[in-house]
Structure 1
Amino acid sequence: MWVKRLQPTMTESASQRTPDPMSESLLPTLVSTLTQHEKSIQSVIEQLNLTNQRLIHLDTENRQLWSQLGAAASSISSPPPAPPLPVPPAPGHFRVADSPTPDTFSGEPGRCRSFLLLCDLVFKRSPDTFSSDPIKISFIVGLLRGKALLWAEARSRQPGFLLGPLHEFLSEFSQIFDTPDNPAEIARKIWSLRQGRLTVLDFAIEFRTLASISTLDDASLRAAFSQSLSDDLQDQLAFCPDSENLESLISLASRIERRLKDRRRVSRHLPSISAPEMSSRTPVELVSQPEPMQLGRAQLTPEEKLRRRTASLCLYCGQAGHMISHCPVRPKDRTHQ
């Protein structure tokens, strides 16, 4: 080792110079320490070599194991995954309410579509319960009454009728009990509708229902809706610009109706004209008063006339301090008509 070869050199150098007692005492200690470090390094190197050999061996075994697993997986088909188990709803959490059972159906005209719609909602809300066509058909038949049940009983005598498919059952069911849409008949019903005592919003429900299955365009529907309203509403709509569509026309008519009801309610609470006020007017003013001032082509309504008379306002210009016979803005030539 180089440590052993160092000693002769140091001996030769020591022979050429004056010996140092301290150097001679440290030399054995240094040699011993370096020797121990060399042995430790050698031991670590041996342990690293052994560890590398073990890792290489483990890597080889790992590769062999993976190759065996791949071969086994390719030869055996994997089973289908198990369906997830239903999780019961936690107490106190939100839960979707069950669909109510539809009303029974006895073959009434006009109720076939609504009855089938409610049945379809029940099927969609409980797909696990109604998982096949025979179950759905049995549910529908169980709600039939009267002539509809008699039809189902007669058809059930044929093998396979209650087994489906569902679309064939529904097609035959609708053909028997549903009224086909006749565009001409629907248009006739729309044009014959009248508001009557219904409010605009209530009447609009019936009108929209027929309009949704009609072939009339929006302009025709607006014309039919306008002519079906009450006379008061038609008079007010005559001074309004044309609506863009049916929905805006319904909204406008509803606002006008509310306004007219509010004015009638206020007029019922206005005080009537007292007898002294009536007696203070001349017979000419009471009997032969000219027509009040018109707004465009519309004359004053009876409610507005009553309000102006009650407040002692001019019936022509609506200002206080004078009567219509002395109105400063009224054309003078009308006093002689």
Structure 2
Amino acid sequence: MDPADSETVKIALRAQGTRLHQHEEQLGAINLGVRDLTGRQENFQASVNTQVNHLAEQLHRVLAHLEAGSSPQHPAVAHTPIVPADHVPLHAPPPRLASPERFSGDSGDCRPFIVHCDLHYKYNPAAFPTDHSKVAFMVSHLTGRAAAWATSEWARDSPTCNSLDVFTDTLTKVFNRTAPGREAARALMQIKKSQRRVSDYAIEFRTLAADSGWNSAALLDAFSSGLSDSIKDQLIPLDLPEDLDSVIALAVRIDNRLAERQKQRFKSVARLPRHQGDTPSHRPAWRPPTDTPPERRVLPSVSEEPMQLGRAKLTPEERLRRIQEGRCFYCGEQGHLLASCTAKDRAHQGRGGPW
């Protein structure tokens, strides 16, 4: 055979092998789709059977009412109104549940995904009559690495996909990287309230406590140890309850009251009047009077605040108070004003003033 023809045959065979591999992948995808359709068909059939049984029960009840109304042995029952079929008590419809968030395996914790799927199985049992349909539901909500693993198991008809318990256990072993009990216990020993509110601290504490496996006494000690010093000081004189929920509720109430008291303090400080020079950083230091000779001493006018020796300048608040109470700006007594204050006149005369 010509070498050129032999090479052509090899190329054709490789191309044919590639096509066969592609066909196998397509057949695998078609097989997966057919199984999914089969599961849906089973779910639909189960739902139809449930509805038929429900209608049969309603019909049986209506016939029973009709027979009771037409019976000659019980004439009093003949006047009893027949309950229409649409008034027969029906089973409550299943709750509307959101679709489970797709699980990729990257989070390292598949428990939320499994619990969300279990909610669908519990409250909509007619849609999932078999373990195979439940596993198909979980596989359809996987993505990324988890979807690649589940697709491989499903395509080769692995026994893992025939049992819900086996599938969830295997999924947990493959993609659950954490040990919930040990991780929660370690976190409980380190969690602190810090600058958070007690309510936020309690939420995180309850979440970890659910997985820790600790008894109530250990959880109570751990929660109390993580509180801030201000909350602990308030709890010391009290007889604490013996259950964790009551202690958490008590700590939350104390924290809320302390926060409310803090707000009241801030409001009181904000309402205080502020004047330039009132703060210690702006108030000028007091200086003693200079030894100015009497003949060069300048006396204040009637309209000015008293600045005589030994008397400090009145603050705006003190001026307002003396005006409201009718007191003298100089001596602080009632019954006269600064212009007619005798104490002021005597002070000026005693210091060699022109009076």
Structure 2 gap segments, 5+ residues each: 1-48, 59-84, 281-355
**CA-to-aligned-CA distance 1:91-114 (integer Å, 9 cap, x gap):** 9x9744432211111114464111
Work out which of the residue numbers 116, 121, 124 in structure 2 matches 1:123. Answer: 121
Post-superposition shift, 1:169?
1.2
Between the aligned partners of 1:175 and 1:206, the Cα distance in structure 2 is 26
CA distance in 2, matches of 1:110, 1:242: 39
Matched with 1:219 is 217
TM-superposed deviation, 1:223: 1.9
- Aligned to 2:176, which of 156, 170, 178? 178
SS at match of 1:239: coil
Any residues of structure 2 matched to 1:1-337 within 5 Å, and which? 84-87=52-55, 95-109=93-107, 111-161=109-159, 163-179=161-177, 181=179, 183-270=181-268, 271-272=271-272
1:199 is displaced (CA, Å) by: 2.4
Query: For the residues of structure 1 that align with 2:218 and 2:201, how far apart are their CA atoms?
Result: 17
* Equivalent-residue separation in structure 2 for 1:242 and 1:135 (angstroms): 51
Closer/same/farther in 2, CA of residues 273 and 234 from structure 1, 3 Å limit: farther
Q: Deviations over 1:51-77 (max 9, x none)?
A: xxxxxxxxxxxxxxxxxxxxxxxxxxx
RMSD: 3.4
Distance 1:255 1:141 in 2: 46
Q: Tell me the matched-pair count.
A: 197
One-letter code aligned to 2:236: A
Equivalent residue letter for 1:177: F
TM-aligned CA deviation for residue 208 of structure 1: 1.1
Distance apart, 1:166 and its partner CA: 1.7
Secondary structure in 2 matching 1:269: helix
Between the aligned residues of both structures, percent identity stands at: 32
Letter in 2 for 1:210: L
Q: Matched residues in 2 for 1:182 and 1:162: separation?
A: 24
Whether the 8 Å CA contact 1:134–1:162 is kept in 2: the answer is: no
State how far apart, in whole Å, the 2-side matches of 1:221 and 1:163 are.
40
CA distance in 2, matches of 1:278, 1:118: 62
Alpha-carbon distance in structure 1 between the residues aligned to 2:231 and 2:108 = 31
CA deviation after TM superposition for structure 1 residue 246, in Å = 1.2
Match of residue 61 from structure 2 = none
Q: 1:109 to 1:257 in 2, by over 3 A?
A: same
Q: Tell me the amino acid that sits aligned with residue 133 of structure 2.
A: I
Contact 1:195 1:228 in 2 (8 A): yes
Equivalent residues of 2:94, 2:124 under 8 A apart: no
Distance 1:153 1:95 in 2: 33
CA shift for structure 1 position 272:
3.8
Larger Rg: 1
Query: Cα–Cα, structure 1 residues 163 and 148, in superposed 2: closer, same or farther, change >3 Å?
Result: closer
Describe the shift of the 1:248–1:278 C-alpha distance in structure 2 as closer, same or farther (beyond 3 A).
same
Three-state SS of the structure 1 residue aligned to 2:120 is helix
* Aligned-partner SS, 2:101: coil
- CA 1:171/1:274 → structure 2, altered by over 3 Å: closer, same or farther? closer
Contact in 2 for aligned 1:218/1:245 (Cα 8 Å):
yes
8 Å contact from structure 1 (residues 98, 125) kept in 2: no
Matched residues in 1 for 2:249 and 2:181: separation? 26
Could you tell me how far apart the structure 2 residues matched to 1:174 and 1:278 are? 66
Aligned CA distance change for structure 1 residues 162 and 187 (closer, same or farther; 3 Å): closer
Report deviation, 1:251: 0.8
Deviation for aligned residue 1:242: 3.1
Change (3 A) 1:260 1:153: same
Aligned-partner residue type, residue 186 of structure 1 = A
Please give the alpha-carbon distance, in whole angstroms, between the structure 1 residues aligned to 2:183 and 2:158.
37
TM-score, normalised to structure 2's length? Answer: 0.48
Q: Distance in 2 between the 1:119 and 1:240 partners?
A: 45
Aligned counterpart, 2:296: none
* Partners of 2:139 and 2:150 within 8 A in 1: yes
Q: Structure 1-normalised TM-score?
A: 0.51
Provide the rounded CA distance (Å) in 1 between the counterparts of 2:86 and 2:100. Answer: 29
What letter corresponds to residue 144 of structure 1 in structure 2? L
Deviation for aligned residue 1:217: 2.6
TM-superposed CA distance for 1:205, in Å, is: 1.8
Aligned residue for 2:145, secondary structure, equals helix
Pick closer, same or farther for the CA change 1:274–1:213 going to 2, 3 Å: same
